[in-house]
Amino acid sequence: MHLGLIGYGNIGRALLGVLVAEGCAPERVTLLVRPGTRGDLPGDVVTDSEALVAARPDLIVECAGHSAVAGAVVPALRAGIECVVVSIGALADAALHDAVRAAARAGGTRVVLPAGAIGGVDLLASLKPAGIASVVYTSRKPPLAWKGTPAEALLDLSALTGPATFFTGNAREAALAYPKNANVAATLALAGLGFEETRVEMVADPTVTQNIHEYRVRSGAADYAMRIEGKPSPDNPKTSLATVYSAAREVMNRLAEVAI
């Protein structure tokens, strides 16, 4: 496989590491990185989306943040290259969501949204024809994981002695206000009730050491609750390690005789 990677930060490096460890190392890698990026880059390096498209990878994985979806994913889709998007929260922007879908249609390909840090997304999506009554998601993380977000203006994160809820709203509001922390909310919204009707709570909790994702679903076919205690990435506490493995699974599924 010729794999394209948009971004080569924490997620990109870890993703390639998983593929190598699982015996699924791509035969060729093309990396789209910012001009001036230095370091040991394992593959062909390009610095603009046109060059990435010209390289014609078999599959592209975006792991560079929300701006990369508009700047690099849309052109790749339009050129007929299948893309896996990790920065799912970017699709809370309705205009960008429409642009992504239009580009995929124009290119005769598709964009794949991995489950990321959450589980049960397949069940949630399958329940839509039965009628989903409610989806309520709670993101509970250590205070350190909320540094660099608007939560810092609402709470003294270093002084918390107990759980503090600092956001209650819908998935669109959550994803737009907390773009680096709300990919799970966006994933649940796209799989289920949509951005406006999916309810979100965010909690800074000094009593936990992991990124905890909880959600409850009520529907005409099944009610269920899910709790994931994800271990944060050692390089970026805002990212759950499960996100890396989820993206790697999407790549490995393209190579497997049986995909799950």
Task: Give the pLDDT of residue 206.
Answer: 97
Task: Give the pLDDT of residue 189.
Answer: 98
Domain count, the chain: 2
Share of the chain above pLDDT 90, in %: 84
Helices (H), 1-156: 10-21, 49-55, 66-68, 74-78, 94-107, 121-126, 151-154
Q: Does 87 reside within a domain?
A: yes
Residues 99, 142 within the same domain: no
Q: Does 166 reside within a domain?
A: yes
- Between CA 142 and CA 228 the distance in angstroms is 14
Q: Does 260 reside within a domain?
A: no
Share of the chain above pLDDT 70, in %: 99
Least confident of 37-51, 59-73, 108-122, 244-258: 37-51
Residues 151, 216 within the same domain: yes
- Nearest residue to 165 (alpha-carbon basis) of 174, 155, 175: 155
Measured torsion, CA atoms of residues 51, 55, 56, 59, in degrees rounded to the nearest 10: -90
Summarised one tens digit per residue, pLDDT across range 58-111 is 999 999 988 999 999 999 999 999 999 999 999 999 999 999 999 999 999 999
Residue 52 has pLDDT above 80, yes or no: yes
Task: Give the pLDDT of residue 145.
Answer: 87
Residues 134, 70 within the same domain: no
Residues 234, 248 within the same domain: no
Residue 239 has pLDDT above 90, yes or no: no
Residue 180 phi, psi dihedral angles, 5° rounding: -90, -5
- Between CA 224 and CA 56 the distance in angstroms is 42
Least confident of 31-45, 62-76, 122-136, 148-162: 31-45
Residues 166, 228 within the same domain: yes
Q: Does 205 reside within a domain?
A: yes
Q: Does 110 reside within a domain?
A: yes
Q: Which of 2, 66, 97, 213 is catalytic?
A: 213
Which DSSP symbol is given to 186?
H
Residues 12, 83 within the same domain: yes
Buried b (16+ CB within 10 A) or exposed e, 13-22: bbbbebbeee
Residue 147 has pLDDT above 80, yes or no: yes
Amino acid at 74: V
Residues 108, 158 within the same domain: no
Residue 38 has pLDDT above 80, yes or no: no
Residues 16, 98 within the same domain: yes
Residues 18, 104 within the same domain: yes
Buried b (16+ CB within 10 A) or exposed e, 212-247: bbbbebebeeeeeebebebebbeeebbbbbbbbbbb
CATH code of residue 210:
3.30.360.10
* DSSP letter string, 115-136: -TT---HHHHHHTGGG-EEEEE
- Confidence grade of residue 33 (pLDDT, cut at 50, 70, 90): very high
The two counts, helices (H) then strands (E), for the chain are: 10, 11
Residues 160, 56 within the same domain: no
56 and 82 Cβ atoms separated by less than 8 Å: no
Residues 103, 44 within the same domain: yes
- Between CA 143 and CA 205 the distance in angstroms is 6
Buried b (16+ CB within 10 A) or exposed e, 147-185: eebebeeebebeebeeebebbeebbbbbbbbbbebbbbb
Q: Does 212 reside within a domain?
A: yes
Least confident of 6-10, 32-36, 44-48, 105-109: 32-36
CATH code of residue 57:
3.40.50.720
Residues 130, 234 within the same domain: yes
For residue 156, the enclosing domain spans: 121-238
Q: Does 165 reside within a domain?
A: yes
Q: Does 31 reside within a domain?
A: yes
CA atoms within 13 A on the CB side of 257: 0
3-state secondary structure of 64: coil
pTM score, whole prediction: 0.92
Is 66 a residue of the active site?
no
Task: Give the pLDDT of residue 4.
Answer: 98
Mean pLDDT of the region 37-42: 79
